[in-house]
């Protein structure tokens, strides 16, 4: 009677033969051998997460891409004579590290040998390419792992907005009464600085804009991590990436930080084309345009104020305007009360006609603030016995009699407004 036992991986086979009622064990070498060869693949950062089996591995194109191949006797492969790479011209691979089963057991990876393979492929690859690596086992047979080298993901066009909104905010402490505008499908950002920005020394912490790098979706077993290369930044702008570094398949956030003092003291318009590039495949890039324009001339440094803000009809009201630079002789402010019939002229320096759609105030020279005084009137619809009635004062830099476009502006440094409430006397 004969029985053959082959149950444990790595245990030599033996044959037990029953001769005349006595058992005789004879070592049979080699009747068979333990299975050896590639079993699975992991990334080098984690030995417990299997990213591929013998069916094949996908690797992103680029230099020095590493992965770890696991299997019985894989660590015994001679890196010089026992390892073979097969693939298109311009590609090569090598074993850079071998680890025994006992070493890997100490790493918490299981009692199995491994080899770290490093592969170099053209970073600007445009289509999938097939390749393979082979490991010669101790008895001379080859264990093969199929590879597919895939191109780096395409970078989508970056924008200054996320779902149409500037993130985290529109930098109100820099823009103030200026403006911030996105153009060309949000790929261009124009910041018009407010009047008096060069003299502004107030603290500003809202000085960051976030842009997200978006790549095309794809499945890859082994991909690099890196920081995007950002060039073309103006001197007042720096950038950081989160996470840093990020996988080529992630969507990292790029935070652009403005040097507040550097922006406020610009004396000429600054226009920059900012390029965001994959550092491995430099053909994968996207660009944004940033334009910062200093104050073009005279303007309001802050919103107009009313004194008092609430008063009985029949009393005078002063509206204070503050300017970015001393006024010059001949400069004019166009202004109005939106309910013209509820007000009248209070002083000769501020002529007022309720029949005219706009009023005109000639600025005295050398002033950085002026008061426009108007007299309130208790006319029909001007007050209410039950509650105060709100009225709006508006003002524009310029003379709408010579330039009708002056009063088409409803924001920015050349426009301001204030509210006042009239009470029934």
Q: Tens digit of pLDDT for each residue in 306-362?
A: 999 999 999 999 999 999 888 888 889 999 999 999 999 999 999 999 999 999 999
Nearest Cα residue to 352 out of 327, 319, 329: 319
In this structure, the dihedral spanned by the alpha carbons of residues 188, 193, 198 and 202, taken in order and rounded to 10 degrees, is -100
Which 8-state DSSP code applies to residue 398? B
For the beta carbon of residue 282, count every other beta carbon within 10 angstroms: 12
State whether 53 and 105 are in the same domain.
yes
Q: Check whether residue 110 and residue 125 sit in a common domain.
A: yes
Flag whether 20 is in a domain. yes
Residues 339 and 417 in one domain: yes
Q: Are 375 and 346 in contact, with CB atoms under 8 Å apart?
A: yes
> Do 199 and 142 lie in a common domain?
no
Regarding beta strands 57-60 and 142-150, do their DSSP bridges make them parallel or antiparallel, or are they unpaired? parallel
pLDDT in tens, 119-129: 999 999 999 99
Q: What angle do CA 292, 293, 295 make, to 5 degrees?
A: 140
Q: Which domain holds residue 222?
A: 161-293
Residues 364 and 404 in one domain: yes
Q: For 287-315, write each residue's pLDDT tens digit.
A: 999 999 887 667 888 999 999 999 999 99
Residue 379 falls inside a structural domain: yes
Assess if residue 298 is contained within a domain.
no
Going through 35-166 in order, the beta strands assigned E by DSSP cover 40-42, 50-53, 57-60, 65-70, 83-86, 92-99, 114-120, 129-136, 142-150, 161-162, 165-166
Instruction: Give 148's strand partners.
Output: 58, 130
Distance CA 105, CA 109 (A): 5
Domain termination residue (choose one: 150, 169, 191): 150
Evaluate whether 305 touches 319 at the Cβ level (below 8 Å).
yes
Instruction: Say if CB 228 and CB 252 are below 8 A apart.
Output: yes
Q: Tens digit of pLDDT for each residue in 234-266? A: 999 999 999 999 999 999 999 999 999 999 989
Note whether 165 and 289 are same-domain residues. Answer: yes
pTM equals 0.66
Do 390 and 277 contact (CB within 8 A), yes or no?
A: no
Average pLDDT, the chain: 89
pLDDT at 60 over 50: yes
pLDDT at 19 over 50: no
Model confidence pLDDT, tens digit, residues 174-202? 998 778 999 999 999 999 887 777 778 88
As a whole number of angstroms, the distance between CA 352 and CA 296 comes to 30
pLDDT attached to residue 115: 98
- CB distance 176 to 411 below 8 Å: no
Residues 265, 243 share a domain: yes
9 in any annotated domain: yes
The answer to whether 86 and 132 have CB atoms below 8 angstroms apart is yes
Q: Are 332 and 405 in contact (CB under 8 A)?
A: no
Residue 192 lies in a domain: yes
Domain assignment present for residue 299? The answer is no
- How many domains is the chain partitioned into structurally? 4
269 with 324, same domain?
no
- Asked if residues 369 and 401 have their Cβ atoms less than 8 Å apart, the reply is no
Regarding whether 333 and 216 lie in a shared domain, the answer is: no
**35 pLDDT tier (thresholds 50, 70, 90):** low
Same structural domain for residues 324 and 392?
A: yes
**Residues 263 and 236 occupy one common structural domain:** yes
Mean pLDDT of 384-395: 95
Has residue 156 been placed in a domain? no
Find the CATH number of the domain harbouring 345: 2.60.40
Backbone angles phi, psi at 370, to 5 degrees: -140, 160
Residues 28 and 59 in one domain: no
pLDDT 10s digits, 136-167? 998 888 999 999 999 999 999 999 999 899 99
Q: Is residue 353, in this structure, part of any structural domain at all?
A: yes
pLDDT of residue 30: 42
């Amino acid at each position: 009677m004969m029985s053959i036992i082959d149950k444990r991986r790595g245990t030599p086979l033996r044959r037990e033969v029953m001769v005349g009622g006595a058992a005789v064990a004879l070592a049979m070498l080699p009747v068979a051998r333990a299975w050896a060869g590639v079993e699975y693949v992991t990334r080098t950062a984690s030995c417990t997460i299997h990213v591929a089996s013998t069916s094949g591995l996908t690797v992103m194109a680029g230099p020095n891409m590493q992965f770890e191949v696991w299997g019985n006797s894989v660590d015994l492969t001679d890196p010089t004579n026992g390892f073979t790479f097969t693939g298109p011209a311009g590609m090569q691979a090598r074993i850079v590290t071998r680890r025994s089963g006992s070493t890997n057991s100490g790493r918490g990876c299981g009692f199995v040998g491994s080899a770290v393979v490093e592969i170099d492929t053209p970073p600007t690859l445009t289509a999938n390419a097939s390749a393979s690596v082979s490991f010669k086992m101790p008895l001379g047979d080859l264990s093969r792992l199929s590879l597919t080298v895939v191109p780096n993901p395409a970078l989508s066009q970056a924008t200054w907005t996320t779902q149409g909104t500037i993130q985290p905010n529109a930098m109100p402490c820099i823009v103030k009464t200026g403006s911030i505008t996105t153009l060309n499908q949000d790929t261009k950002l124009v910041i018009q600085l407010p009047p008096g920005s060069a003299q502004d020394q107030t603290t500003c912490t809202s000085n960051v804009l976030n842009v997200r790098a978006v790549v095309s979706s794809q499945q890859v077993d082994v991909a690099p991590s890196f920081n995007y290369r950002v060039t073309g930044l103006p001197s007042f702008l720096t950038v950081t990436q989160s996470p840093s570094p990020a996988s080529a398949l992630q969507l990292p956030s790029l935070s652009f930080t403005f040097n507040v003092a550097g922006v406020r003291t610009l004396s000429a318009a600054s226009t920059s084309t900012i390029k965001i590039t994959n550092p491995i495949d430099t053909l994968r890039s996207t660009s944004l345009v940033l334009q910062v324009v200093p104050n073009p001339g005279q303007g309001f440094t802050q919103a107009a104020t009313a004194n008092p803000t609430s008063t009985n009809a029949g009393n005078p009201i002063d509206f204070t305007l503050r300017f970015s630079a001393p006024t010059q002789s001949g400069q004019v402010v166009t202004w109005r009360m939106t309910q013209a019939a509820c007000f009248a002229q209070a002083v000769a320096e501020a002529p007022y006609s309720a029949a005219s759609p706009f009023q005109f105030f000639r600025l005295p020279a050398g002033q950085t603030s002026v008061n426009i005084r108007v007299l309130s009137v208790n006319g029909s619809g001007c007050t209410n016995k039950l509650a105060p009635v709100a009225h709006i004062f508006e003002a524009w830099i310029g003379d709408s009699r010579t330039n009708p476009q002056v009063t088409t502006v409803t924001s920015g440094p050349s426009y301001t407004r204030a509210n006042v409430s009239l009470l029934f006397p």
